[in-house]
Structure 1
Amino acid sequence: MYSAAMSTAERLIESTRELLWERGYVGTSPKAILERAGAGQGSMYHHFKGKPDLALAAIRRTAEELLATAEEVLGGPGTPYDRIEAYLRRQRDVLRGCPVGRLTMDPDVVADDELRAPVDEALDRIRERLAGLVEEGQEQGRFAPSLDGEEIAAAILATVQGGYVLARASGSPAAFDAAVRGLLSLLAPRNP
């Protein structure tokens, strides 16, 4: 499943990331992590203090990956609207859901300040980046000056996360796509 060159610690982190996405914190047992990683008993405790420490490393990695993916699109070419559209329409496994969004629905992650922190930070940074794009669009005369960048950024994130939920509930990415199209029609740029 994993590359032979991947270290045991890396296999443990990647296995934990996958299991957290699939099963949540409580459903991710040390035994399941070790089996998925192909690691021997005790290797988790050799590299990490225990499940919470390993889960934190996995959550941080997931948050970093989400941020890198978002920044690649939001920092790309085009107008602010083009970049927001690219973020909303980027390739996603819609029916699987968002790995960070999944963590926000996990009561054990949300209840633990340390585990929740990377999730909060990632969503805050994306929200800030989106708000900055709205403000940039306003400066260029492409978005109405009456828009509140923070509110629009929150609406964009809510559309993405809510779109995942609707798609999973219906078993079809069509609900996600409809939410994206609706939001983009509301954000349609003004002619400068």
Structure 2
Amino acid sequence: MSKKEALTRAAAELLWERGYTGTSPAKVLERAHAGQGSMYHHFSGKAELALEAMTRMSEELRDRAERALDGEGGAVARIDAFLDLERDPLAGCRLGRLTQDYDVVTDDRLRAPLAEFFSWLDERLTAVLAEGVRTGELRPGTDPVAIAALIMATVQGGYVLARAWQQPEAFQRAVEGVRRVLADLRADPGQD
């Protein structure tokens, strides 16, 4: 692995664990087993390294979500596959956690990968749900935009509850709630 890759991975891990404010260049260098010159050879500073790491995290999360949402079955089965993605509720969402960091949300450049990922996810979930309405799997009148927002809010809120209570089950209960909403929206509730 190149030093640039090691620095990017180390920064991504630390951003997830500590946020932007809590991630120091010294900690990144320590985790990457790199000398100070390595970081400044590849990046102009902490912000540029963080941007690279956040962009990488966004791409990885997008690939995982896309595999689920583009999988087999109807709309509800694919949404279920997305909800079933392996997650560590107590660690929180890699990108969602960064939306709570003042230095990230007040910097348009740093916020961009977060906004782009969540916009993409919103559009992708909306498209899958709209397909479900078009094919008759979901009841007419189902609002794909509102339900996509509900799914994203439930997943992010599930992380918050799990972390606040230190109970991974809180995340699972939130996800189960959105599954029940989807089940109630089925045109034929007996469908698998």
**For 2:49 and 2:128, how far apart are their aligned partners in 1?**
35
Of 80, 83, 94, the match for 1:99: 94
Of 82, 85, 88, the match for 2:83: 88
**Match in the other structure for 1:26:** 21
**For 2:26 and 2:181, how far apart are their aligned partners in 1?**
48
**For 1:175 and 1:27, how far apart are their aligned partners in 2?**
26
**Match in the other structure for 2:176:** 181
String of CA shifts for 1:78-113, please: whole Å, max 9, x gaps: 110000011112211111111011111111111100
Three-state SS of the structure 1 residue aligned to 2:15 is helix
Of 133, 138, 152, the match for 1:143: 138
Q: Does 1:79 align with 2:103?
A: no
**Match in the other structure for 1:37:** 32
Note the C-alpha offset of 1:176: 0.9
Q: Which aligned segments of 4 or more residues in structure 1 are displaced greater than 2 angstroms?
A: none
Alpha carbon RMSD of aligned pairs, Å?
Answer: 1.0
Three-state SS of the structure 2 residue aligned to 1:90 is coil
Unaligned runs of 5+ in 1: 1-5
Identity %: 54
String of CA shifts for 1:120-152, please: whole Å, max 9, x gaps: 001111110100111100011111221211111
Note the C-alpha offset of 1:24: 1.1
**Match in the other structure for 2:104:** 109
How many residue pairs get matched? 187
**For 1:62 and 1:34, how far apart are their aligned partners in 2?**
19
Of 6, 14, 17, the match for 1:11: 6
Note the C-alpha offset of 1:174: 1.1
**Match in the other structure for 2:187:** 190
Unaligned runs of 5+ in 2: none
Note the C-alpha offset of 1:190: 2.0
**For 2:91 and 2:6, how far apart are their aligned partners in 1?**
21
1:145-164 matches, within 5 Å, as 145-164=140-159
Q: TM-score, normalised by structure 2?
A: 0.95
Q: TM-score, normalised by structure 1?
A: 0.95
String of CA shifts for 1:29-77, please: whole Å, max 9, x gaps: 1111100100012111101111111110001001111101100100110
